[in-house]
Chains A and B, each alone.
Chain A
Amino acid sequence: MFVARSIAADHKDLIHDVSFDFHGRRMATCSSDQSVKTHSGSVWRVTWAHPEFGQVLASCSFDRTAAVWEEIVGESNDKLRGQSHWVKRTTLVDSRTSVTDVKFAPKHMGLMLATCSADGIVRIYEAPDVMNLSQWSLQHEISCKLSCSCISWNPSSSRAHSPMIAVGSDDSSPSAMAKVQIFEYNENTRKYAKAETLMTVTDAVHDIAFAPNLGRSYHILAIATKDVRIFTLKPVRKELTSSGGPTKFEIHIVAQFDNHNSQVWRVSWNITGTVLASSGDDGCVRLWKANYMDNWKCTGILKGNGSPVNGSSQQGNSNPSLGSNIPNLQNSLNGSSSGRKHS
Chain B
Amino acid sequence: MEKMSRVTTALGGSALTGHTMHCHLDAPANAISVCRDAAQVVVAGRSIFKIYAIEEEQFVEKLNLRVGRKPSLNLSCADVVWHQMDENLLATAATNGVVVTWNLGRPSRNKQDQLFTEHKRTVNKVCFHPSEAHVLLSGSQDGFMKCFDLRKKDSVSTFSGQSESVRDVQFSIRDYFTFASTFENGNVQLWDIRRPDRCERMFTAHNGPVFCCDWHPDDRGWLATGGRDKMVKVWDMTTHRAKEMHCVQTIASVARVKWRPECRHHLATCSMMVDHNIYVWDVRRPFVPAAMFEEHRDVTTGIAWRHPHDPSFLLSGSKDSTLCQHLFRDASQPVERANPEGLCYGLFGDLAFAAKESLVATDSGRKPYAGDRRHPIFFKRKLDPAEPFTGLASSALSVFEMEPGSGSMSWFVDTAERYALAGRPLAELCDHNAKVARELGRNQVAQTWTMLRMIYCSPGVVPTTNLNHSVGKGSSCGLPLMNSFNLKDMSQGLGSETRLDRSKGDTRSDTVLLDSSATLITNEDNEETEGSDVPADYLLGDVEGEEEELYLLDPEHAHTEEPEYVLPQEAFPLRHEIVDTPPGPEHLQDKAESPHVSGSEADAASLAPVDASFSLISVSHALYDSRLPPDFFSALVCDMLRFYAEQGDVQMAVSVLIVLGERVRKDIDEQTQEHWYTSYIDLLQRFCLWNVSNQVVKLSTSRAISCLNQASTTLHVNCSHCKRPMSSRGWVCDRCHRCASMCAVCHHVVKGLFVWCQGCSHGGHLQHIMKWLEGSSHCPAGCGHLCEYS
A-to-B contact residues, CB < 8 Å: 1-9, 11-20, 22-25, 27, 29-34, 37, 40-42, 44, 62-64, 98, 100, 107-108, 118, 149, 156-160, 170, 206-207, 212-218, 226, 261-263, 265-275, 277-283, 285, 291-293, 302-307, 314-327, 329
- Beyond the given pairs A32-B287, A304-B353, A317-B407, 11 more chain A to chain B contacts, judged by CB atoms under 8 angstroms and listed by A's residue number, are A1-B402, A1-B406, A18-B352, A20-B345, A44-B339, A214-B648, A215-B650, A215-B679, A270-B345, A292-B534, A325-B409
Out of B338, B360, B676, name the residue touching A215 (CB < 8 Å).
B676
B334 with A42: CB separation less than 8 A = yes
B331 interface residue, CB < 8 Å from A?
no
B230 interface residue, CB < 8 Å from A?
yes
CA A15 – CA B342 in complex, angstroms?
A: 7
CA A314 – CA B441 in complex, angstroms?
A: 17
B348 with A24: CB separation less than 8 A = yes
Closest 3 CB pairs of A and B: A24-B347, A304-B360, A324-B404
B393 with A326: CB separation less than 8 A = no
Chain B residues, CB < 8 A from A280:
341
CA A212 – CA B646 in complex, angstroms?
A: 11
Q: A18-B397, A319-B441, A326-B404 are in contact. Are A268 and B345 (CB under 8 A)?
A: yes
A266 with B341: CB separation less than 8 A = yes
B343 with A3: CB separation less than 8 A = no
A206 to chain B, nearest CB (A): 6
B-to-A contact residues, CB < 8 Å: 230, 249-251, 275, 285, 287-288, 334, 337-356, 359-362, 368-369, 372-375, 392-414, 439-442, 532-535, 538, 642, 645-650, 653-654, 671-672, 674-676, 678-680, 682-683, 686-688
B394 with A277: CB separation less than 8 A = no
CA A154 – CA B407 in complex, angstroms?
A: 26
A277 to chain B, nearest CB (A): 6
Chain B residues, CB < 8 A from A64:
251, 275
Q: A217-B642, A271-B347, A318-B532 are in contact. Are A41 and B251 (CB under 8 A)?
A: yes
B675 with A279: CB separation less than 8 A = no
Chain A residues, CB < 8 A from B345:
20, 268-271, 275, 277
Chain A residues, CB < 8 A from B353:
18, 279, 285, 302, 304
CA A149 – CA B404 in complex, angstroms?
A: 36
- 27 sample A-B contacts, Cβ–Cβ < 8 Å, listed by A number: A5-B398, A6-B396, A13-B392, A13-B393, A17-B342, A20-B350, A27-B352, A41-B287, A42-B288, A206-B339, A215-B646, A215-B680, A216-B648, A262-B369, A268-B345, A279-B341, A285-B343, A304-B359, A304-B398, A316-B406, A319-B407, A319-B411, A321-B405, A324-B405, A324-B408, A325-B408, A329-B399
Q: Determine which residue in A4, A213, A265, A319 has the highest number of CB atoms from chain B within 10 A of its CB, and name it.
A: A319
B649 with A265: CB separation less than 8 A = no
CA A215 – CA B676 in complex, angstroms?
A: 5
Q: A24-B348, A215-B676, A302-B353 are in contact. Are A40 and B249 (CB under 8 A)?
A: yes
A319 to chain B, nearest CB (A): 5
Q: A27-B344, A314-B406 are in contact. Are A4 and B683 (CB under 8 A)?
A: no
A343 to chain B, nearest CB (A): 14
A42 with B287: CB separation less than 8 A = yes
A307 with B535: CB separation less than 8 A = no
Out of A272, A305, A322, name the residue touching B405 (CB < 8 Å).
A322
A278 to chain B, nearest CB (A): 7
CA A30 – CA B678 in complex, angstroms?
A: 31
Q: Determine which residue in B398, B407, B538 has the highest number of CB atoms from chain A within 10 A of its CB, and name it.
A: B407
CA A323 – CA B680 in complex, angstroms?
A: 21
B397 with A15: CB separation less than 8 A = yes
CA A149 – CA B336 in complex, angstroms?
A: 12
Q: Determine which residue in B287, B341, B397, B408 has the highest number of CB atoms from chain A within 10 A of its CB, and name it.
A: B341
Q: A44-B338, A282-B369 are in contact. Are A160 and B397 (CB under 8 A)?
A: no
Chain B residues, CB < 8 A from A281:
340, 359, 369, 374-375
CA A7 – CA B671 in complex, angstroms?
A: 43
Q: Determine which residue in B404, B440, B645 has the highest number of CB atoms from chain A within 10 A of its CB, and name it.
A: B404
Out of B359, B406, B532, B645, name the residue touching A214 (CB < 8 Å).
B645
Chain A residues, CB < 8 A from B683:
214, 271-272
Q: A18-B353, A29-B342, A158-B674 are in contact. Are A23 and B400 (CB under 8 A)?
A: no
Chain A residues, CB < 8 A from B409:
271-272, 325
Chain B residues, CB < 8 A from A18:
342-344, 352-354, 397
B338 with A32: CB separation less than 8 A = yes
Q: A44-B338, A282-B369, A320-B405 are in contact. Are A267 and B343 (CB under 8 A)?
A: yes
B342 with A266: CB separation less than 8 A = yes
Chain A residues, CB < 8 A from B411:
317, 319, 321
B310 to chain A, nearest CB (A): 26
A326 with B686: CB separation less than 8 A = no
A62 with B334: CB separation less than 8 A = yes
CA A42 – CA B335 in complex, angstroms?
A: 10
Q: A14-B395, A158-B674 are in contact. Are A283 and B359 (CB under 8 A)?
A: yes
Q: A7-B399, A303-B360 are in contact. Are A29 and B407 (CB under 8 A)?
A: no
Out of A5, A27, A324, name the residue touching B410 (CB < 8 Å).
A324
CA A192 – CA B654 in complex, angstroms?
A: 32
Chain B residues, CB < 8 A from A325:
348, 404, 408-410, 413-414
Q: A7-B398, A18-B354, A214-B650 are in contact. Are A321 and B441 (CB under 8 A)?
A: yes
CA A277 – CA B399 in complex, angstroms?
A: 13
A160 with B675: CB separation less than 8 A = yes
A106 to chain B, nearest CB (A): 9
CA A318 – CA B535 in complex, angstroms?
A: 13
Chain B residues, CB < 8 A from A218:
646
A66 to chain B, nearest CB (A): 13
B665 to chain A, nearest CB (A): 15
B341 with A2: CB separation less than 8 A = no
Identify the closest chain B residue to A316 (Cβ).
B407
Q: A157-B675, A279-B355 are in contact. Are A270 and B360 (CB under 8 A)?
A: no
B603 to chain A, nearest CB (A): 31
Chain A residues, CB < 8 A from B642:
217
CA A23 – CA B688 in complex, angstroms?
A: 7
Out of B288, B394, B400, B686, name the residue touching A62 (CB < 8 Å).
B288
Q: A1-B406, A156-B675 are in contact. Are A271 and B350 (CB under 8 A)?
A: no
A54 to chain B, nearest CB (A): 15
Chain A residues, CB < 8 A from B348:
24, 325-327
CA A272 – CA B645 in complex, angstroms?
A: 10
A11 with B403: CB separation less than 8 A = no
Identify the closest chain B residue to A161 (Cβ).
B675
Identify the closest chain B residue to A317 (Cβ).
B407
A249 to chain B, nearest CB (A): 16
B251 with A1: CB separation less than 8 A = no
CA A111 – CA B446 in complex, angstroms?
A: 39
Q: Determine which residue in B342, B372, B374, B399 has the highest number of CB atoms from chain A within 10 A of its CB, and name it.
A: B342
